[in-house]
């Protein structure tokens, strides 16, 4: 999928969701300088699920909502849909934890900005998700921003994904020379 199309959909969703929402997932990783292929747009939000559903309904979008079991470590809820042929997910953070955002202006938007979760919060969200692609994303971000390594390892230990995360770090460290930050 073309990156410009994903970014335009992200901008539209950011406009619908408003304050208290930030781009997460693969596009957020790319916004922090680690480009990787992605086919969808992910947002995390502090908005109540009912508000998100109403905003999407008012915009004429169809979607599905999955309610999780937070007591078992699942996300409280995830709303999934499609906008202009691009799949999206909007989710509540685990434990209703707050997160911060930064405004990033992709060239495709000619100066318009999209709220993106902060680097620290993106790393936390990715480690909480704990999937292979998530851990690889964090390893790549740690390579780009070595100052976040100690906290990332600490979080990985707390979230019981340390051994798998260390394997991704080692793989990443062997693969390429260190990168310089672009943000």
- Claim to verify: residue 107 and residue 152 sit in the same structural domain: no
How does strand 77-83 pair with strand 41-45? unpaired
Walking along the chain (183 residues) 10 residues at a time, the average pLDDT comes out as 80 91 92 88 94 95 92 87 96 77 64 85 93 95 95 95 96 74 55
Among residues 89, 117, 145, the one where a domain terminates is 117
What's residue 26's pLDDT?
Answer: 92
- Claim to verify: residue 100 and residue 135 sit in the same structural domain: no
What is the pTM assigned to this prediction?
Answer: 0.86
Name the domain count of the chain.
2
- Claim to verify: residue 21 and residue 64 sit in the same structural domain: yes
Among residues 117, 148, 165, the one where a domain terminates is 117
- Count of Cβ atoms closer than 10 Å to residue 5 Cβ: 14
Domain span holding position 105: 1-117
| Contacts (Cβ under 8 Å, ≥6 apart) of 150 | none
- Claim to verify: residue 92 and residue 129 sit in the same structural domain: no
- Claim to verify: residue 44 and residue 134 sit in the same structural domain: no
For residue 45, which phi and psi values (nearest 5 degrees)?
A: -145, 150
What's residue 69's pLDDT?
Answer: 85
Among residues 75, 91, 117, the one where a domain terminates is 117
- Claim to verify: residue 11 and residue 91 sit in the same structural domain: yes
What's residue 178's pLDDT?
Answer: 58
- Claim to verify: residue 107 and residue 136 sit in the same structural domain: no
């Amino acid at each position: 999928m073309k990156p410009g199309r994903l970014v335009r959909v992200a901008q539209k969703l950011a406009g619908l969701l408003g304050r208290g929402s930030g781009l997460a997932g693969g596009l957020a990783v790319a916004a922090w300088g680690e480009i990787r292929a992605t086919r969808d747009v992910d947002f995390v939000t502090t908005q109540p699920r009912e508000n998100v559903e109403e905003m999407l309904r008012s915009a004429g979008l169809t979607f599905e909502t999955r309610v999780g079991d937070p007591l078992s470590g699942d996300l409280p809820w995830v709303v999934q849909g499609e906008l202009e042929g691009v799949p999206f997910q909007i989710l509540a953070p685990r434990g209703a934890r707050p997160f911060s955002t930064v405004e990033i202006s992709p060239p495709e938007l000619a100066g318009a900005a999209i709220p993106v979760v902060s680097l620290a919060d993106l790393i936390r969200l990715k480690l909480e998700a704990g999937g292979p692609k998530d851990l690889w994303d964090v390893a790549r971000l740690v390579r780009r921003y070595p100052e976040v390594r100690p906290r990332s390892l600490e979080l990985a230990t707390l979230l019981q994904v340390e051994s798998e995360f260390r394997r991704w770090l080692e793989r990443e460290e062997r693969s390429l020379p260190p990168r310089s930050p672009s943000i």
